[in-house]
Chain A
Amino acid sequence: GENVEQHPSTLSVQEGDSAVIKCTYSDSASNYFPWYKQELGKRPQLIIDIRSNVGEKKDQRIAVTLNKTAKHFSLHITETQPEDSAVYFCAARNNQGGKLIFGQGTELSVKP
Chain B
Amino acid sequence: AQTVTQSQPEMSVQEAETVTLSCTYDTSESDYYLFWYKQPPSRQMILVIRQEAYKQQNATENRFSVNFQKAAKSFSLKISDSQLGDAAMYFCAYKILWNNNDMRFGAGTRLTVKP
A and B: interacting chains: no
A contact residues vs B (CB 8 Å cutoff) = none
